[in-house]
Structure 1
Amino acid sequence: MPKEIVLPEGTPPPLAPYVPATKANNVVYVSGILAFDEHNNVVHIGDAAAQTRHVLETIKGILANAGGTLKDVTFNHIFLRDWADYAAINQVYAEYFPDERPARYCVQVGLVKPEALVEIASIAHV
Structure 2
Amino acid sequence: MPKQAIIPPGSGVPLAPFVPGTLADGVVYVSGTLPFDKENNVVHVGDAAAQTRHVLEIIKSVIETAGGTMDDVTFNSIFITDWANYAAVNQVYAGYFPGDKPARFCIQCGLVKPDALIEIATIAHIGTP
Aligned to 2:105, the other structure's residue is in SS state strand
Structure 1 runs not aligned, ≥5 long: none
Residue 51 of structure 2 corresponds to residue 51 of structure 1? yes
Report sequence identity in percent.
67
The Cα shift of 1:9 comes to 1.2
Written as runs of structure 1 = structure 2, the 5 A alignment for 1:17-96 is 17-96=17-96
Residues in 2 aligned to 1:5 and 1:38: alpha-carbon distance in whole angstroms: 18
The list of structure 1 runs, each at least 4 consecutive aligned residues, that deviate by more than 3 angstroms after superposition, is none
TM-score normalised by structure 1 residue count = 0.99
Alignment length (residue pairs): 126
Residue 119 of structure 2 corresponds to residue 114 of structure 1? no
Residues in 1 aligned to 2:112 and 2:86: alpha-carbon distance in whole angstroms: 19
The Cα shift of 1:98 comes to 1.0
**CA RMSD after TM alignment:** 0.5
Aligned to 2:46, the other structure's residue is in SS state coil
TM-score normalised by structure 2 residue count = 0.97
Written as runs of structure 1 = structure 2, the 5 A alignment for 1:96-111 is 96-111=96-111
The Cα shift of 1:91 comes to 0.4
Partner of 1:4: 4
